[in-house]
Homo-oligomer: A and B are copies of this chain.
């Protein structure tokens, strides 16, 4: 199967031409997620046409378009159910109608972290296993779950993809989702600046002079001995590791895959999460494998074939 895949994130829209589970050519354009997504669709359409032209692919040779987004998706209707402050027009958009009118192609939609989980399960770090949890550490925290060979969606499409909104501290920080003390509100790129600014030692920390305050900077200054960065690092690792234990207790996977942009610092994160899980998880059957994403940014793109075949079973593979 040949298809066009788009992974619409908070900062970048990744796109690619996918053929038989491999990304043939890919690129990114800015998301501008503070604006309505409808305003980005004309440029996205031009970009996808240019991708086809560049790879010598006729639209008629494409089985369809897969799109993943940072929102809850009702797979049956194709409705986007929430927006968390990004692309505020999402609940009003009909992307299926857009793809039909613009390209004459069917379009399949799914939550972005669930798509990354599907990609890692079929083609990446979870290949060969049938029970997997994916946790993406990025702007927010996303999760996706496969249990005994079935993608977990639940009655209203929410199951498995709201792992970043499990309560990790019942008297903690308010989250954009409405809950209190969500993992995403306690430690994510989205809340990092606020976490840093509430520390008394932040003003004197080299972090205060960083042009971009991200976890790469935090881990770098922590390793160099800055106490503020060290405290932010230890706090965030504890939150992510505690969330990992909750996800294992909730979904009983064989494999936990860690991905997302923050995993650029996998050398810091993986050993800490593994050690916390080893000490604190309750899995009398044995040990969950904790592994980094094998597909990185392309996980949600390569999942497109599985999603199109699931949602449009008549499409030929």
Name the distance in Å between A278's Cβ and chain B's nearest Cβ: 10
A282 touches B82 (CB 8 A): yes
Say yes or no for A126: interface residue by CB 8 A criterion: no
B159 touches A155 (CB 8 A): no
Copies assembled: 2
Name the distance in Å between A159's Cβ and chain B's nearest Cβ: 4
**Which residue from B155, B165, B250 sits with its C-beta under 8 Å from A166?**
B250
The stretch that binds B, out of A4-12, A20-28, A169-177, A206-214, is A169-177
Interface residues of A (CB under 8 A from B): 72, 74, 81-82, 91, 130-131, 147-148, 152-160, 162-163, 165-171, 177-181, 186, 238-239, 242-243, 245-246, 249-254, 279-286
A170 touches B242 (CB 8 A): yes
Interchain Cβ contacts under 8 Å between A and B, 30 examples = A81-B284, A82-B284, A131-B155, A147-B154, A148-B154, A154-B252, A154-B253, A155-B252, A156-B285, A156-B286, A158-B249, A158-B252, A159-B251, A159-B252, A162-B250, A166-B246, A166-B249, A167-B243, A167-B245, A168-B169, A169-B169, A170-B238, A170-B242, A178-B282, A179-B249, A179-B280, A179-B281, A179-B282, A180-B280, A250-B250
**Which residue from B131, B250, B279 sits with its C-beta under 8 Å from A178?**
B279
**Which residue from B162, B168, B254 sits with its C-beta under 8 Å from A167?**
B168
Residues of B near A242 (CB, < 8 A) are: 167, 170, 180-181
CA distance A280 to B177 in the complex (A): 8
Residues of B near A168 (CB, < 8 A) are: 167-170
Name the distance in Å between A180's Cβ and chain B's nearest Cβ: 6
